[in-house]
A and B are shown apart, each in its own frame.
Chain A
Amino acid sequence: MGRSRQIDEAEARKRPAAAMLVVVGAVLLALLPFVGVRPFTITLLTEALIFAIWAMSLDLMTGYTGMLTFGHAAAFGLGGYAAGYFAREVTSDFFTSLLIAELVILLVALPIGFVATRLSGAAFAIVSLCIAQVFFQIAVAWRSVTEGMDGLVGVPIPTLLGMTINTGPEFYVLTVLIAATVCLGLRRLVASPFGRTLGAIRLNEDRAAAIGINVRLHKWLVFVISWAIAGIGGTLMVFMKAGTTPMSLYWIESGNVLIMAIFGGLGTLFGPIIGAISFVFLRDELTTGFEVWQLAFGIVFVIVVLVFPSGLAGVASSAWMLLWRARS
């Protein structure tokens, strides 16, 4: 999880331009359905962007603050269940459901984060796994609310200010907007003094504490913020799939988001986006009529990890530098 100081400083200089790129990129992405891109590609992109939000939240915790977690499905799944249940029972308004989901997440993440951030490294990673598995079991056992292993079914189509947001281009544009907002917001956060401190914590917690940083407080805040953002992803997903199951809390899902973020490139925020898009498209391609997808996936994965040290974002930035070398 290392990024050299030179890249840090170069990134700082690129900041305002980068922000504009995010905006422009988002606009261009949002235009895709309207220039004739295939409907299913839009569906996959929607799913990819939802995962990107989730992966970016993981990047904040793991890439920027150095807190590796094997249980990030807990935040995503919890958001989904809370939003989905509320939407089905009370109102299908998107922002209200999101608000409720965020309240539930805060209620849960604040105490859990407080206790969990006592730990670091492998212990923290395993405890996160344990927490997620306990959530899984609760989702399975609390049948009266979650309907157990059968899952939450029949979540309605979301509405926004009275307007129905149908799956397809409408929901896609909403997702693009939210993803872009999250990306910009996180970029602001990591560039702020608070964000700079996270880097110090990631490099060496003890040294950071020695120079007066309240490591515990920072980790706790990062935990809660990360969960909250993951919850946004979970809310979007539960509306997209009109439901959820306890499997959304299972350790395999936590593994998936970890793959997306690390594969894409930790500590870059763009990396997780690329990672999420790659993961979704790759998995879809490999599981259509192709029965050995695990083998193919594993091979691709190992090769990428061996050959590209900083994940796909590293590839992208190397390609970028190569492309523009002549003009620098």
Chain B
Amino acid sequence: MDWNFLFVNILNGVVYGSFLLLTSLGLSLVFGLGRVVNFAHGAIYAMGGYALIVVMYGIGAGYWLGLVAAPLLVIPIAMVIERVAIRPIRHRPDVDTLLVTFGLSSMIVGGIEYVWGTGTKLLPPPSPFAGIVDVFGNQYPLYRLVAAVVSLLVSAGVFVVIQFTPIGLRIRAITDDPGMAEALGVNRKRLLTLVFGCAAGLAALAGALGAPIFAIHPEMGMNILIDSFLVVVLGGLGSLMGSVIGAFFVSLTKSIGGGYFAEWSTAILFLVVAVVLIARPTGVFGHGRVA
């Protein structure tokens, strides 16, 4: 039994899981609050990567500044998108928002291709963290660890906001009982726009964080989008704790699966998710919200 090999795969899983968590939290929040299945989430992830390029090569800023600026650039754009394309059709059946976000995804990816071309842009990891470190006898890229830590810190921040702040209270109220919350004076529409924007910010941050590892290209968000959907449904729609469990479950399955089962890894992931859902249709922490 090669413990080192297992360890490295677990570590990989944790790293990818932390990215997945960022995107899944956003997806879960947006669904829990507004019943919106946001297919454009992957495109927004990509926007984060390209926003990073804009800041770094347009203004000549360093990576860390770019990392902070990228989500800040994307959030207002996402809020405008929500206001213009999603809010007007909220009252319509759920499929419509699903379709609109799908169309938006095409538009955003197409727009990125139009402006920057379809070529891939490589980004080296920022210099203090560009090397390899020794983790219990295994060589591991330092930047991956750093990115994972940043993601986890930000995710923890999201939890803190949701659990302990007034605005978090409002979000939880709307998630639990929209009608009652509105009756109590919560401005649902504005809150939804704000949350949509922040969720986009999380996805954009994930995109920018991942750029030095996964490179920047227009379709960079598609894979993580699918994984995020698996996470959110697995964890239970609207459940943030479920997203945490789901994210690491999916990423570890992919990682360990990749290490031990190679080409079968994604099939195993899908099979496992299917089995879990069949056993527990509302997800691990589902609040009975299935349809």
Contacts and interface: CB of A to CB of B under 8 A. Distances in A.
Contacts of A302: 85, 100, 103-104, 107
B278 A121 contact: no
Nearest to B274: A130
Contact of B88 (A119, A122, A297, A306): A306
A266 to B, nearest CB: 7
Interface centre among A68, A138, A298, by most chain B C-beta atoms within 10 angstroms, is: A298
A201 to B, nearest CB: 12
A164 interface: no
Interface in A112-147: 115-116, 118-123, 126-127, 129-131, 133-134, 136-138, 140-141
Interface of B is mostly: helix
A119 B281 contact: yes
Interface residues of B, number: 42
Given A262-B95, A263-B99, A302-B85, A122 B106 contact: no
Given A122-B237, A266-B95, A306-B89, A115 B278 contact: yes
Interface residues of A, number: 43
B86 to A, nearest CB: 10
A259 B93 CA distance: 15
A298 B218 CA distance: 14
B102 A301 contact: yes
B113 A295 contact: yes
A121 B291 contact: yes
Given A123-B277, A266-B95, A294 B102 contact: no
A189 interface: no
B110 interface: yes
A134 B271 contact: yes
B217 to A, nearest CB: 13
Contacts of A319: none
A292 interface: yes
Interface in B228-267: 229-230, 233, 237, 263-264, 266-267
A257 to B, nearest CB: 13
Interface string B103-122: 11111111101100000000
A294 B274 contact: no
Contacts of B278: 115-116, 118-119, 127
A296 interface: yes
A324 to B, nearest CB: 27
B36 to A, nearest CB: 12
A2 interface: yes
A31 interface: no
Contacts of A118: 278, 281
Centre residue among B103, B107, B263, B267 by max chain A CB count within 10 A: B103
B67 to A, nearest CB: 27
Contact of A262 (B89, B99, B104, B267): B99
A169 B138 CA distance: 65
A309 B274 contact: no
Contact of B263 (A2, A115, A126, A140): A140
B103 A298 contact: yes
B17 interface: no
A124 to B, nearest CB: 8
B229 A126 contact: yes
Nearest to B117: A291
B96 interface: yes
Nearest to A123: B281
A137 B102 contact: no
By CB atoms of chain B within 10 A, which of A205, A292, A306 has the most?
A306
A301 B92 contact: no
A255 interface: yes
A305 interface: yes
Contacts of A7: none
A298 B108 contact: yes
Nearest to A255: B102
A305 B104 CA distance: 11
B283 interface: yes
Contacts of A297: 106, 110
B174 interface: no
A287 to B, nearest CB: 12
A86 interface: no
Contact of A259 (B102, B266, B283): B102
Nearest to B108: A298
A68 B271 contact: no
Nearest to B273: A130
A-B residue pairs, 10 tightest by C-beta = A295-B110, A298-B106, A298-B107, A121-B291, A294-B110, A137-B267, A301-B103, A302-B103, A130-B274, A130-B270
30 contacts: A115-B278, A118-B281, A120-B290, A121-B291, A123-B277, A123-B281, A126-B233, A127-B274, A130-B277, A131-B270, A134-B267, A134-B270, A138-B267, A140-B263, A141-B267, A205-B291, A259-B99, A259-B102, A262-B99, A292-B110, A295-B106, A295-B107, A297-B106, A297-B110, A298-B109, A298-B111, A301-B102, A301-B107, A306-B85, A309-B92
Given A116-B278, A119-B290, A137-B266, 5 more contacts: A122-B290, A123-B283, A137-B270, A301-B106, A306-B89
